[in-house]
Amino acid sequence: MGVVVITGATAGVGKATALRFAEAGYDVGIIARDDPSLEVARNEISQSGVKCHAVNADVTDGSAIMAAAQEIEQQLGPIDVWVNNAMCAVLAPFRTMHDDEFRRVTDVTYLGYVNGTRAALAMMTPRDRGMIIQVGSALAYRSIPLQSAYCGAKAAIRGFTDAVRTELIHEKINIQLTMVQLPGLNTPQFDWARNKFAFSMRPVPPVYEPEVAAQAIVNVVSRPVRELWVGRSTMQAIIGQFLFPGLLDRLMVKKAWEGQMTSGLNAPARQDNLAGPVRGMHQVHGRFSAEAKSRATAITSGVPGKVLVGTVAVAAGLLLARLCTPRKK
């Protein structure tokens, strides 16, 4: 089938996506920071009968990511698909975040995509073919409280991607640049993100299994689109931001602050992955499997006008209904 490279590929969406590409017959290059977790992922991917090459590199190091791309091409052959996925987060009000925390989230979650895109283009441009997929989020359009650095990074990825896409079109370079906007997912993210609250945190519901994201990412390779919105909640967030952002601000105040908190207590000495990897937690799924959905609708931002208008109307109606629902005491 070809060769795919995935950053942040040892857990969550990255690992689910690597496994799904392997099932589809792709040889897989994986990039992450923890050797034992890379080896576990490599073994799992190889069980599909494909080749897998693992590279230990931090996405914030542009030279290391360029070298990783060259190494993977030497081991597996020309890279056909590059998936930027690595991320980290701090769960806290902005006023309580230190400069180094905000900077680290930005370096990994935004500049990591910049470095990955640069490396992918360096490999693909001489061949004039390939696809770069940016793993995005509904938060690229509609920010929520307590994740200011992460939301800012996802929005920056969208702006960066749009700019680079227009440059490729102008230069007549046949490399597809796609962004896949995802809903809340059942991954280990909330177990290893830095959390400054006394309570443990969770994604804003509804929550989807990471395999939903993986399948959507694999699908855009065979059916290229400019941007894909996965899950009804993603559509509502994006369309609602276009139509009535002020009302959506109110919804975020009512739903998203408490909606990210659980009744469980946050362990004060809990490790987080801001500065380095957390070992022993590199699985695909998080702790929300009981409620996670295994299927999701998806639309592209390039759907025909009548379909998009209908989708806007439905999403707007559902969102307004949520806004008008009395808050439980």
Q: Which residues are catalytic?
A: 150
Taken in order 143, 94, 276, 270, the sign of the CA dihedral is: negative
Q: What is the CA radius of gyration of the chain?
A: 19
Cα–Cα nearest to 84, from 34, 51, 119, 48: 119
Q: Residue 5 and residue 230: Cα distance in Å, rounded?
A: 22
Return the structure tokens found at 246.
């002020």
CA separation, residue 172 to residues 14, 164, 218, 227 (Å): 30, 12, 25, 19
CA 7 to chain centre: 10
Q: How far apart are CA 155 and CA 196, in angstroms?
A: 23
Distance CA 163, CA 181 (A): 17
Q: Are 50 and 28 in contact (CB under 8 A)?
A: yes
Contact 193, 273 (CB under 8 A): yes
Q: Indicate the helix (H) or strand (E) that contains 181.
A: strand 176-181
- Residue that the structure tokens 């590409």 belong to: 21
Tokens of 110: 């935004």
Separation of CA 214 from chain center: 10
How crowded is the C-beta side of 279, counted as CA atoms within 13 Å?
6
User: What SS3 state is found at 129?
Assistant: coil
Per residue, what are the HEC states of 2-40?
Answer: CEEEEECCCCHHHHHHHHHHHHCCCEEEEEECCHHHHHH
